[in-house]
Structure 1
C-alpha cells in the first residue's frame, strides 16, 4: 500500500503543478472525448487532425503580438479554426474539389504559416511550446478556459444530442424531416474547434487531437451504442491522462506525448483484446471452419 501511495497518489498530493495538470487533463477528457466519438462516427477523424493544425496561425499571431498570453492565443486560434473550416467548406461547395482535399490543403498551408510566424519572433523553446504544449505548466487562466469549454461542450451535446446522433446515422433523413441538419453540422464543427483550442493550451496544436480521437477510437471496439461509447471514451481519456502524467513524473518524460502514448496503448489493447478486436472477433469464424 505504501508503494502504491508513493507511485500513484503522492505526486498529485505533494505538487500543485501535478494537481493543475491532472485537473486540466481530466476536464479535457470529459469535453473532447465525446466530440471525438462523434467525429469518428461521422468518419471525420482526419478532419479533426486537420483542424488541430489549422488553429496554429491564429495562435502564432497572438504569440507575435502578446507573447505566451492565453487570451490572445486562444482568440487567434478560434478565429483561424473558423476561417479554415468555412474556407475549406466553401471550396468544396463552389468547386469540383472534395472537402477532404480542400481541408488537407488548408491544413498544410496553416501549419507551414504558423511555424514560420512563431519562428519570426520566438525561439525553438517557444515553437515547442506552441506545437506540443506544456500540460505541467497550466495556470489558473488555462484551467478556467478548459472548464468553460467543457461546460459549453456538455451543454451543447445535451441540447442537440438526438440531432447529432441522427446526423451521424442518416444525415439525409435528418435534413428531410428537420431544419436542424445544416445548423447542427456547423455547431458540431464549432465544438471541434473550441475543444482543439482548449486542448492546445495543454497538449499543443500537434497533439491536442490525440486525446480527442484515440480514446474514442478505442471505445468503438467495446460498444456500438453512442451513449456507452462516449462514456467509455471519457473513462479511457481520464485513465490515459492519469497514466501519462505518472509516467511523465517518474520517468522524466514530456507530459503531453506521455498522455497520448498512454491513450495509444489503450487503443492497441482494444484492437487486440476487445469483443470486436482481432482475437475475439476471429473466434467464431475459426470455430465455424473447424465444424
Structure 2
C-alpha cells in the first residue's frame, strides 16, 4: 500500500509543480471534453486541429511583445489569432467556392509557418519547442487561474445554450428553419473551441492542444449514446489521461505533454477493442446475440 501511494500520490504531495499540472489537466478536461464532443458531432473534428495551429502566430507575437515565454501574453495573442482565422475561414467559405474545411486548412498552414518564423526570429530552439509542445510542468498560478476561468466560462456557456448548440450539431437545417439563429450558435461553438485551445496551448503547446479535446470525444462516442453522457465520459477521459500521463512521465522521466496525449490515445485504442461497439464484441458476440 505504501509503495502504491508512493507511485500514485506522493508526486503530487511533494511537488507543487505536479499539483498545478494536475489541476490544469482537470480544468482542461472539464472544458475541452464537452466542446470536443460538440465539434465531433458537427463533423468538424479536423477543424479543431486546424484552429489549434492557427493560434501559433498570435502566441508568437505575444512571445515577442513580452520578451519571452509569458503565458498570459501568448494566450491573449493566441485567442485573437484563433478567432481571426475561424472568422476569416467562415467568410471565405461563404463568399467563394471553397468549403470551410478547405479554407481552414489553407489558413492553418500559413499560420503555422508564420508562427514558427516569428518565434525563430527572436527566440531560441528551446523557446520554439516550448511554444510547439507546451510547458505543463511550468504552469504558474496566473496561468492556472486563466485555464480555470476558461473552463468555468465554457461550462457556463454550454449550460445556457445547451439545446440550440445540440440542435446546431445534430440538425442545423432544422434550427435554421425555425429561426434559431444557427450561424450565431455555430460561431459560438467556434469561439468556445478557440478559447479551450488557448487554454490547452498553455499546457500542451499548439501542436498537441487539440489532443485533450478530440481524443476524449472519440472515446466518449464509443461508450455513450446520449449527449450528456458523452460530455461526462469525454471530461472524465481527459482528466484521467492527464493524471496517468503526469504519473508516467514523472517516474520514467518522459516529456509530460506527449505522455498525456499518448495516455488518451491508449484509452482510445482500448475503447476501439472493448467498447460496446468495439472489435472484441463484434468478433465474439454474447451468446444471446450469436446466430
TM-score (norm 1): 0.97
In terms of mean alpha carbon deviation, does 170-179 or 105-114 score higher?
170-179
Match of 1:92 in 2: 93
Residues 164, 180 of structure 2: 8 Å contact kept = no
Match of 1:19 in 2: 19
Match of 1:189 in 2: 190
Match of 1:231 in 2: 232
Query: How do 1:91-170 and structure 2 match up within 5 A?
Result: 91-170=92-171
Q: Are 1:56 and 2:61 counterparts?
A: no
Q: CA RMSD in A?
A: 1.5
Q: Return the alpha-carbon distance in structure 2 between the equivalents of residues 197 and 118 of structure 1.
A: 17
TM-score (norm 2): 0.97
In structure 2, relative to structure 1, the CA distance for the partners of 1:286 and 1:109 (3 Å cut) is farther
Q: Are 1:35 and 2:4 counterparts?
A: no
Match of 1:241 in 2: 242
Q: Return the alpha-carbon distance in structure 1 between the equivalents of residues 113 and 130 of structure 2.
A: 16
What secondary structure does 1:220 align onto?
helix
Residue 282 of structure 1 deviates from its aligned partner by: 4.4
Q: Return the alpha-carbon distance in structure 2 between the equivalents of residues 165 and 22 of structure 1.
A: 30
Q: Return the alpha-carbon distance in structure 1 between the equivalents of residues 191 and 117 of structure 2.
A: 26
What secondary structure does 2:28 align onto?
helix
Residue 65 of structure 1 deviates from its aligned partner by: 1.5
What secondary structure does 2:69 align onto?
coil
Deviations 1:257-279 (A, max 9, x none): 00000000000000111001112
In terms of mean alpha carbon deviation, does 41-50 or 177-186 score higher?
177-186
Match of 1:203 in 2: 204
Q: Return the alpha-carbon distance in structure 2 between the equivalents of residues 287 and 107 of structure 1.
A: 50
In terms of mean alpha carbon deviation, does 169-178 or 194-203 score higher?
169-178
Residue 167 of structure 1 deviates from its aligned partner by: 1.1
Residue 247 of structure 1 deviates from its aligned partner by: 0.6
Unaligned runs of 5+ residues in structure 2 are none
- In the comparison of the two structures, how many residue pairs are matched? 290
Deviations 1:33-81 (A, max 9, x none): 1100111111111000000000000000111121211222112111111
Q: Return the alpha-carbon distance in structure 2 between the equivalents of residues 244 and 20 of structure 1.
A: 14
Q: Return the alpha-carbon distance in structure 2 between the equivalents of residues 94 and 240 of structure 1.
A: 41
What secondary structure does 2:210 align onto?
helix
Q: Return the alpha-carbon distance in structure 1 between the equivalents of residues 93 and 50 of structure 2.
A: 15
